[in-house]
Amino acid sequence: MDSVQEFLSSIAQKKGKVSEKLVTRSHATQLMFDVMLENKNCHVITSVDGADLKLAGKILSLNEPLSGVGSTPKVNPDNSSIVMQQLRQEIGGVRDRLAQLPPPHNKQELARMEKLMEDLEETKMLDWDQILWKSDKFLEERRSNFAHKGLLWILEAVRPATKENVQKLQSLKEKLIKECKQQQLVTNQVTSELKDLIDSYTQQIKSGKNSESESKAKVAAIQQMKDHFKVENEKFKDLKGKLINVKEQLQLEIQNGVEQSSNNFDSAFHSMQDEREKMREENAQLVEDELAKMKIEVDRASSELDMQVSSKSLVTSEQKVLDNEKELVKLRAEKSVMTAQLEVFKRESAQMEDHMRILLEKHNKQMSIQQLQNMQTFRAYRQVHEDFKVELENRWRSLLDEAIQDAVFLSARNTELKERNGQLQQELGKMKDDRSLKKGAKAIGL
Same domain assignment for residues 309 and 374: yes
Same domain assignment for residues 142 and 176: no
Same domain assignment for residues 131 and 235: no
Same domain assignment for residues 139 and 166: no
pLDDT at 262 over 50: no
User: Does residue 279 contact residue 347 with C-beta atoms inside 8 Å?
Assistant: yes
Task: Output the CA–CA distances (angstroms, integers) from residue 425 to 368, 410, 416, 420, 433, in the order listed.
Answer: 83, 22, 14, 9, 12
Domain range for 246: 161-382
pTM of the predicted model as reported, rounded to 2 decimal places: 0.34
State how many domains the chain has: 3
pLDDT at 108 over 70: yes
pLDDT given at position 263 = 46
- pLDDT tens digits, 299-357: 777 776 666 665 554 445 666 676 777 777 777 777 777 887 888 888 888 878 887 88
Same domain assignment for residues 126 and 196: no
The number of residues making up the chain comes to 446
Same domain assignment for residues 32 and 100: no
- Gap between the Cα atoms of 46 and 58, Å rounded: 16
pLDDT given at position 114 = 80
- pLDDT tens digits, 112-130: 878 888 887 777 766 676 6
Count of CB atoms situated within 10 Å of the CB of 358: 17
Nearest to 37 by CA among 65, 13, 69, 6: 69
Question: What average pLDDT does the chain have?
Answer: 73
